[in-house]
Amino acid sequence: MATRRDFGSWLSGPNVPTGETRDRDGLGLPASGPGSRAGLGRRVVALCVDWAAASAISYAFFDYGSLATLGVFAAMNFVLVATVGATLGHALLRLQVRRLGVRGPHIVGFGRGALRAALVCLVIPAVVWDADGRGLHDKAAGTVIVRR
């Protein structure tokens, strides 16, 4: 006679990888909606908005052909992410940088903000990401970009 145990593998639903549930991803974030990981498209558009803002400030106050644009971009990224958790581009696209695995306020802080900004400016860590969709700059800083 067949028992429920014999059929348990298909009665219990689809297999979910260890550490994940249907409503959570591998990082413990919601699978969709507010608080879920932001998609690549939105992150790239936010980056372009931030670079355009840095270019405009650089053009207005410095020699446009210099490294001033990169400096302005780094300063904006550092100060805004460290204090409010979002750059101008993130805010426009309803994204937020949060510390991973921290309950309560998700303030990134100056140390993590400085590390993250420096690595974003190096470009390579920002364009290399893992299976979770986090860039090396976010992994090093212990942060993740989520939807608001």
* Chain centroid, CA 40 distance in Å: 9
Percentage of the residues of the chain whose pLDDT score is greater than 70 = 76
CA-based Rg of the chain, rounded to a whole angstrom? Answer: 20
On whether the CB atoms of residues 111 and 142 are closer than 8 A, the answer is no
Is residue 75, in this structure, part of any structural domain at all? yes
* Most confident residue range from 12-21, 24-33, 71-80: 71-80
Count how many domains the chain has.
1
**Which of the two residues, 5 and 115, has the higher pLDDT score?**
115
Both structure tokens of 78: 């550092």
What is the mean pLDDT of the segment spanning 74-88? 95
Task: Please determine, for residue 1, whether its predicted confidence score (pLDDT) is greater than 70.
Answer: no
Percentage of the residues of the chain whose pLDDT score is greater than 90 = 39
Is residue 41, in this structure, part of any structural domain at all? yes
**Which of the two residues, 92 and 130, has the higher pLDDT score?**
92
> 87: how many CB neighbours lie within 10 A of its CB?
26
**pLDDT-derived band at 123, boundaries 50, 70, 90:** confident
Q: Could you give the CA distance from residue 63 to residue 126 in angstroms, rounded to a whole number?
A: 26
**pLDDT-derived band at 82, boundaries 50, 70, 90:** very high
Q: Could you give the CA distance from residue 108 to residue 97 in angstroms, rounded to a whole number?
A: 7
Q: Tell me, what's the pLDDT at 29?
A: 75
Both structure tokens of 64: 């446009």
Between CA 116 and CA 83, with CA 113 as vertex, the angle to 5 degrees is 145
Q: Could you give the CA distance from residue 107 to residue 115 in angstroms, rounded to a whole number?
A: 14
What is the mean pLDDT of the segment spanning 58-66? 81
36 lies in which domain range?
Answer: 27-147
Is residue 47, in this structure, part of any structural domain at all? yes
Tell me which residue of 137, 143, 4 sits closest to 74, measured CA to CA.
Answer: 137
